[in-house]
Chains A and B, each alone.
Chain A
């Protein structure tokens, strides 16, 4: 299969820049895949796991903290709030973040920002999931 250029960038660094066959992205209405020769597309991305690599076989994973993607000229760019490759994830920190968020949701103090705590929990769970399968 034909490859295309795939890039994930956050503001402070380029997370990956490589040629791949297939990318699976966490879209707002569920995951969707992109292969070479896709029509120009812009899509909103949710917090979720991103996979890239061969269509069949072992793919690498990224924990994505939401963002935006654009494909044109056979180049797919993901601009993310946060993005970490599975092997970069600090499992210990993610675990701490998870219990902290759970604690906060359980306590339910008056000034609690529930949405924010839920997002924190979601991100922590995602990181653990992505890191785990690596």
Chain B
């Protein structure tokens, strides 16, 4: 994600781990600088429920207007789709 620094891009997450402290530890260990909502420690938490998430990890890419442009995409398609949406802003 380094190559995207300085670009109008953000990575955010929704986390469904049970233990808040464990999340903090993982984030520190993995040097995760991006933020995640903590969804009450549950895959049935309110955010997962609203978004009807069936499997995890699940990656969605939104454009600068907040429109869902890619749903449940595979990790290998992430870079190309972000580049496509960034090029729309140039």
Asked if A and B bind, the verdict is no
User: Measuring CB to CB, which residues of chain B are less than 8 angstroms from any residue of chain A?
Assistant: none
